[in-house]
């Protein structure tokens, strides 16, 4: 499966983010808790050099709970402030204020030493499409905030939302476009719906998804669709056979009674996206070496 991915408006969006980020002290990056690495955009490391960094593992409710905390720890060991969030229900959103405050401390301290007092720290939310930026901002900002309006000369045309006495948030999130050479990254991004479905062949996508599930969640399809269990070393041909089985079980049939694999593929991808297959994580945190306490 091969993806071509060249959104035309990408260069413009990147330029505008480059401008915005100059005004920012803290970058809050939303990633998808099911694919935390593939849903990051490596460009942000250059764009946000020398800024405090917060990583929010959003859609934590859709991910496999067994890995959520390990991912959080992983990012903390890499020097980020990190937290798990469900922006849709609001779980974990309130705690983000504390994390942002902590991420701002160094900047506030630096300002204080230079005699700058009461200058608000500025934050910006960034993330790839569909990761939940708007949902998060709505939930995070809630009703408590007040828009501070334009500040002529300094931040022309920008709207800032006051989050607390010390922190202001740029009200428009920065969109980072997915970036990948590795096709397996593209596959995961397509599965979570961050790549436009028009450029992806759903049947191919579902076959790759079957292979991924087979490796990490071998019972999920058997349980959901009541199909026969399948071989450990499933290949793409085996995945096609399995999709046919799903089509038959779900009565996705063509006029002649043949299995309608394309329809079954759509169903399978939808079932993944709506968590009908359960909470599934598609990327796993590297094992984090824990220090053994000296007792
Ligand atoms: P974006 O601005 O980054 O592009 O993403 P947006 O907020 O539009 O969110 C994309 C979809 O993800 C929305 O679903 C939203 O409800 C959902 N979403 C965002 N955060 C979370 C989360 O933490 N958990 C869950 N379960 N879902 C989340 P949608 O189907 O497009 O819209 P809607 O039907 O929910 O309104």
The CATH number that applies at residue 264 is 1.10.1580.10
Ligand 1 neighbour 139 (Cβ under 6 A): no
Q: Are 65 and 277 in contact (CB under 8 A)?
A: no
Residue 131, φ and ψ in degrees, nearest 5: -75, -15
Ligand 1 neighbour 62 (Cβ under 6 A): yes
Q: What is the pLDDT along the chain (295 residues), one digit of tens a residue?
A: 666 555 666 777 778 888 889 999 999 999 999 999 999 988 888 889 889 999 999 999 999 999 999 999 999 999 999 999 999 999 999 999 999 989 988 888 888 999 998 888 999 999 999 999 999 999 998 744 555 544 444 445 678 998 888 889 998 888 887 777 788 899 999 999 998 888 889 999 999 999 999 989 999 999 999 998 878 789 999 999 999 999 999 999 999 999 999 999 999 999 999 999 999 999 999 875 544 444 3
User: Does residue 163 fall inside a structural domain?
Assistant: yes
Please report the atom of ligand 1 found closest to the CA of residue 87.
23
Q: How many CB atoms lie within 10 A of CB 139?
A: 20
Clarify whether residues 206 and 132 are in a common domain.
Answer: no
Clarify whether residues 231 and 86 are in a common domain.
Answer: no
Clarify whether residues 210 and 151 are in a common domain.
Answer: no
Clarify whether residues 166 and 219 are in a common domain.
Answer: no
Nearest to 96 by CA among 80, 85, 108, 88: 85
User: Does residue 60 fall inside a structural domain?
Assistant: yes
3-state secondary structure (DSSP) of residue 82:
strand
Q: How many domains does the chain have?
A: 2
Domain that holds residue 282: 201-288
Ligand 1 neighbour 133 (Cβ under 6 A): yes
Ligand 1 neighbour 58 (Cβ under 6 A): yes
- Return the best residue to mutate from 63, 87, 137 for the ligand 1 pocket (most ligand atoms within 8 A of CB): 87
Report how far ligand 1's centroid is from the alpha carbon of 196 (Å). 15
Report how far ligand 1's centroid is from the alpha carbon of 115 (Å). 42
């Amino acid at each position: 499966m091969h993806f071509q991915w060249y959104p035309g408006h990408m260069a413009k969006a990147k330029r505008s983010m480059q401008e915005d980020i100059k005004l920012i002290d803290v970058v809050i990056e939303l990633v998808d808790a099911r694919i935390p690495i593939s849903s990051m955009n490596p460009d942000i490391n250059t764009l946000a050099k020398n800024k405090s960094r917060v990583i929010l593992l959003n859609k934590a409710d859709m991910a496999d709970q067994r890995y959520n905390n390990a991912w959080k720890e992983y990012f903390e060991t890499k020097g980020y402030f990190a937290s798990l969030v469900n922006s849709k229900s609001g779980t974990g959103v309130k705690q983000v204020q504390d994390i942002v405050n902590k991420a701002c401390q160094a900047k506030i301290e630096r300002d204080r030493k230079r005699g700058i007092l009461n200058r608000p720290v500025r934050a910006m939310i960034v993330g790839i499409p569909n990761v939940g930026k708007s949902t998060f901002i709505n939930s995070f900002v809630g009703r408590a905030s007040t828009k501070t309006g334009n500040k002529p000369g300094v931040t022309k045309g920008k709207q800032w939302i006051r989050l607390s006495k010390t922190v202001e948030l740029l009200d428009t999130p920065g969109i980072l476009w997915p970036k990948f050479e590795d096709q397996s990254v593209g596959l995961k991004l397509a599965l979570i719906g961050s790549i436009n479905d028009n450029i992806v062949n759903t049947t191919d996508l579902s076959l790759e998804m079957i292979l991924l599930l087979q490796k990490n969640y071998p019972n999920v399809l058997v349980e959901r669709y009541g199909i026969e269990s399948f071989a450990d070393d499933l290949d793409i041909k085996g995945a096609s056979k399995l999709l046919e089985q799903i089509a038959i079980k779900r009565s996705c049939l063509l006029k002649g009674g043949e299995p309608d694999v394309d329809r079954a593929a759509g169903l399978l991808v939808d079932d993944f996206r709506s968590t009908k297959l359960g909470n599934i994580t598609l990327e796993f945190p590297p094992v984090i070496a824990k220090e053994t306490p000296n007792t």
